[in-house]
Amino acid sequence: MQRAGIADLPLHYGRSPRWLFERMKMLAREIIISIISDSGSEELLRKISDPLWFQALGCVMGFDWHSSGLTTTVCGAIKESIRGLEKELGLFVAGGKGKVSLRTPAEILQWGDNISSDPNLLVYASRMAAKVDSAAVQDGFQLYHHCFIFTSSGQWAVVQQGMNEVTGYARRYHWISEKISSFVCEPHLAICSTWRGEGLNMVARESEKARITCTELSKSSPSKIIKEIKKISSLKLPPTHSFSILDKRPYKLEKTLQTIHNRSPEDFEQLLGIRGVGAKTIRALALVSDLVYGVKPSFKDPATYSFAHGGKDGYPYPVDKKTYDETILSLHKALQEARIGRSEKIKALKRLKSLLI
């Protein structure tokens, strides 16, 4: 699997004004139709999964260039922009911010008849992407936004974001299904970030032995694991560790460990996929793996690495409404002229025109 990147963004409060969001939807609609018409829906997924392209899209659409709200607002605009055009475009969007993200599985399944592959595989991909970035990668960011974008051919991309209230930053994670090989080993393709931290990284290549050990440990008697965790609680942890078990109550893990033991997962991906297995469980198993059995996981942060219409907050200058509207109409006209003779696209463009007038 390739996860296209991570972007760190400062937390900004407030919301996009209605006049701007409506324009964002219209511009997003024209851009999406243009890309799909020329290169197909899979190419759109590739672009969305690129954190730099996604950031540029938000800037072109006039949102704050470095705000955490860019992620949620752009994803919301994309979802709303294609409403009613999903079947014609072969593109579908599920999920969103907060409680809306919990509806992702149901929203995926509602389009099941329009997908050539098993929609349950998409539900699994959505769930695993969230599991990896909340439990397998413990970088201090709590996920609160999950947007799952998929095509009629069954290809998909994920844009999700986590919040770190201590640092005042949000981190955006991008996923794409293309060339997928593993959910749990080096999923990063390109990562854009300015903030660096420390945390448990169970999807690093260096964590391979730790993943195997954790899986084997999970098959052991829960009481045996709890016994080792209690021993760890009395040890002085190495200073290189950025997490510990000292602030946890080991006995609360026993129920989850019993569930895991009964399921007997064959590999780390199956272990991570078990319901109820979250950050605390993975952290506990990783600690036992490290301090008791000497198999160390990775603690490296997975992060590495223009405005066209102004920005909502006035930087680098206020949004120019007239220019914004002219851009939308010019792009619409260019698309209309370029698509003459393509009946399947003309239908969609006529519907677009009625919305713009």
pLDDT in tens, 173-183: 889 998 778 99
Instruction: Compare 335 and 315 and report the one with higher pLDDT.
Output: 335
Is there a domain that residue 56 lies in? yes
Please state the length of the chain. Answer: 357
Calculate ∠ Cα 41-179-113, nearest 5°. 45
- Mean pLDDT, range 8-22, rounded to an integer: 66
What whole-number distance in Å separates Cα of residue 32 and Cα of residue 21? 16
For 2, other C-beta atoms within 10 Å of its C-beta total 19
Distance (Å) of CA 74 to CA 28, 52, 120, 145 = 8, 14, 26, 12
Instruction: Compare 70 and 274 and report the one with higher pLDDT.
Output: 274
Shared domain for 134 and 262, answered yes or no, is no
Shared domain for 38 and 187, answered yes or no, is yes
Peptide bond between residue 316 and the one before it cis (omega within 30 degrees of 0): yes
Average pLDDT of every residue of the chain:
80
Quick one: pLDDT at residue 261?
A: 93
- The proportion of the chain whose per-residue pLDDT surpasses 70, expressed as a percent, equals 70
Shared domain for 58 and 190, answered yes or no, is yes
- Mean pLDDT, range 70-76, rounded to an integer: 90
Domain count, the chain: 2
Shared domain for 182 and 238, answered yes or no, is no
Shared domain for 106 and 230, answered yes or no, is no
Is there a domain that residue 251 lies in? yes
Read off the pLDDT of residues 115-173 as tens digits, 9 standing for 90 and up.
Answer: 999 999 999 999 999 999 999 999 888 999 999 999 999 999 999 988 887 877 778 88
Shared domain for 81 and 185, answered yes or no, is yes
Choose the weakest-confidence range: 244-253, 268-277, 340-349: 340-349
Pair 48, 93: CB distance under 8 Å: no
- Mean pLDDT, range 295-314, rounded to an integer: 64
Give the closest residue to 85 by CA, choosing from 114, 56, 60, 109: 114
Quick one: pLDDT at residue 338?
A: 55
- Mean pLDDT, range 272-282, rounded to an integer: 93
Quick one: pLDDT at residue 164?
A: 82
For 169, other C-beta atoms within 10 Å of its C-beta total 20
Angle between helices 18-39 and 321-338 in degrees, nearest 10: 20
Read off the pLDDT of residues 208-223 as tens digits, 9 standing for 90 and up.
Answer: 999 999 999 999 999 9
Is 62's pLDDT higher than 80? no
Distance (Å) of CA 160 to CA 68, 71, 145, 253, 353 = 11, 8, 5, 27, 32
Range of the domain at 274: 205-292
Shared domain for 239 and 101, answered yes or no, is no
Is there a domain that residue 298 lies in? no
Q: Side chain identity at 256, as an amino acid letter?
A: T
Shared domain for 284 and 312, answered yes or no, is no
Shared domain for 142 and 113, answered yes or no, is yes
In a 3-state reduction of DSSP, which class is residue 143? strand
Pair 63, 16: CB distance under 8 Å: yes
Quick one: pLDDT at residue 305?
A: 44
Regarding beta strands 91-97 and 137-138, do their DSSP bridges make them parallel or antiparallel, or are they unpaired?
unpaired
Quick one: pLDDT at residue 94?
A: 98
Read off the pLDDT of residues 76-107 as tens digits, 9 standing for 90 and up.
Answer: 999 999 999 999 999 999 999 999 999 999 99
What whole-number distance in Å separates Cα of residue 53 and Cα of residue 31? 13
Choose the weakest-confidence range: 127-131, 193-197, 300-304: 193-197
What whole-number distance in Å separates Cα of residue 105 and Cα of residue 126? 8
- Mean pLDDT, range 322-328, rounded to an integer: 66
Is there a domain that residue 149 lies in? yes
Among 272, 292, 312, the domain boundary falls at 292
Among 249, 269, 292, the domain boundary falls at 292
Choose the weakest-confidence range: 17-21, 221-225, 348-352: 348-352
Is there a domain that residue 297 lies in? no
Work out the pLDDT band at 54, boundaries 50, 70, 90: confident
Pair 53, 47: CB distance under 8 Å: yes
- The proportion of the chain whose per-residue pLDDT surpasses 90, expressed as a percent, equals 42
Shared domain for 136 and 57, answered yes or no, is yes
Q: Please give the backbone phi and psi of residue 270, each rounded to the nearest 5 degrees, phi first.
A: -65, -40
Is 195's pLDDT higher than 60? no
Shared domain for 58 and 170, answered yes or no, is yes
What whole-number distance in Å separates Cα of residue 40 and Cα of residue 52? 20
Shared domain for 185 and 209, answered yes or no, is no
Sign (positive/negative) of CA torsion 36, 40, 45, 46? negative
What whole-number distance in Å separates Cα of residue 207 and Cα of residue 212? 9
What whole-number distance in Å separates Cα of residue 193 and Cα of residue 177? 22
Whole-prediction pTM: 0.78
Regarding beta strands 91-97 and 200-201, do their DSSP bridges make them parallel or antiparallel, or are they unpaired?
unpaired
